Amino acid sequence: MAVGCGESCESRGGIDGRWLVKFGEQARRLGCRGVPSHMPVFLGDVMKLITGRSLFSIHAGLTTLCVGLMGGGLPLAADDALLPDTNKIETLTPEQAAKLAAEFQGVSVEIQAFGGRPLKMPAALPLNGLRTLTADVARSLASYPKGSLHLNGLTSLSPEVAKALAKQKGSLYLDGLTTLSDEAVKAIAQHSGTSLSLNGLTSLSPEAAVALAEYNGVLLQLDGLTTLSDEAVKSLAQHSGRALSLNGLASLSPEAAAALAEYTGGLFLNGLTTLSPEVAKGLAEHTGFLLFFDGLATLSPETAKALAEYTGNLGFGGLATISEEAAKALAEHKRELLLTGLTSLSPEVAKALAENTGTLYLDGLTSLSDEAVKALAQHSGTSLSLNGLTSLSPEAAAALAEYTGSLFLSGLTTLSPEAADHLRAHSSVRLPEKFKLRK
């Protein structure tokens, strides 16, 4: 049986629910069941970037059978065996590669995106068993039209092979490369697809950074870089795409932060474990639509105050706790605020966060005291997402029924009839199906 054969879209065809816990409404368009239904629009855009296709649709083959190799069999390696797992392919002739690219229907592949979030890539061609490529084979594989191409087994790439792969139209994954010559970087930077992943690179010359800044794809992933010169940062900040992932950086100088602030797309900086107020102030000048800091485990009031000035959307997936003072400062932020790492919330912190006037995501909370719920119900913003809650008391439900924005509670598993009645009275609430109708 081919990889994924016989599995439904529900189990294989969509984006992993562990990331989708903060995404939603448009995810329904995936055609999959069992995924949360609330998604910030700006993160929906990011999802579209990483799939390299009209994101909120799925290749038709994934909803029925994911046939591994079609058309009567493809000669592979020495014994011409039909390998259902394309990752086991170790060698290909140009003719075999062309047949594979033309006839392979694609499988669902899980990758780690944006600093560790699992993401399902539909209709992918994974060939991670290949260790070397000729330019002719690369040219044939680049013609695969259905989805992403995964070549993470490659440990070197000549300029000629890079030039051939640059013709590929989808998302291209080359995460096994730890070094690249400047000539190869210049060639792969001409990639005509939607996203390029070079997460294995551990260093980047100033010349290579200039070349990658010319990449016209929407997403550039360089999560293996642990340090970057200020000069290289300035160059990468000129990338014209919609998102730049630099999750390997553990620290930033004020000068580098100021340079990154010039970038006009979304920035993922999930490798930062500390953030000084000075660096935060520089990043708050960022002109793009989002900043993610999932590596931060603590947030000082001073840093929170600086970041609250940012005019894009803020994400803190790693914050398990936040002080009342930091919450008060962060609540001044006017756009979408994701605090999905919080696992507990005191009434005092809830009251502070309720002053936020944007959309507030607290999907990591599985339980809340009635006092904390009542405080959050006073939220001044447009939407409140509490998809991690599994139950609510009648008193808490009554308080949330008075909330004036959109309310998302898709994780509820237990509700009394009284509590359910209260929530159904809300004019814009998202509930699990079983609680939508009065029994």
Give pLDDT, residue 2: 30
* pLDDT: which is higher, 128 or 120: 128
Taking Cα atoms as reference points, which of 115, 110, 102, 105 lies closest to residue 128? 110
Q: Return the H-helix or E-strand segment holding 219.
A: strand 219-221
What confidence tens digit (pLDDT) does each residue in 155-175 have? Answer: 999 999 999 999 999 999 999
CATH of domain 321-439: 3.80.10.10
The 10s digit of each residue's pLDDT in 282-303 is 999 999 999 999 999 999 999 9
- At 115, the pLDDT band (50, 70, 90 cuts) reads low
Amino acid at 59: H
Residue type, 99: K
Contact 352, 374 (CB under 8 A): no
> Could you tell me which residues come within 8 angstroms of residue 234 by beta carbon, excluding any fewer than 6 positions away?
259, 262
- The pLDDT score that the predictor gives to residue 52 is 41
Q: What is the pLDDT of residue 73?
A: 32
Q: Pairing relation of β-strands 313-315 and 337-338?
A: parallel
Q: Which two tokens stand for residue 130?
A: 């290949």
Structure tokens at 433: 């199906």
Q: What is the pLDDT of residues 2-56, one digit of tens each?
A: 323 333 232 323 223 332 233 333 333 323 333 333 445 455 555 555 554 333 2
If one counts every other C-beta atom within 10 angstroms of the C-beta of residue 252, the result is 25
Report the pLDDT value the prediction gives residue 39, as an integer from 0 to 100: 45
Please give the average per-residue pLDDT across 106-113, as a whole number.
Answer: 88
* Residue 426, CA distances (Å) to 34, 369, 377, 435 in order: 24, 20, 12, 13
Q: What whole-number percentage of the chain has pLDDT above 70?
A: 80
Tell me what the pLDDT averaged over the chain comes to.
Answer: 83
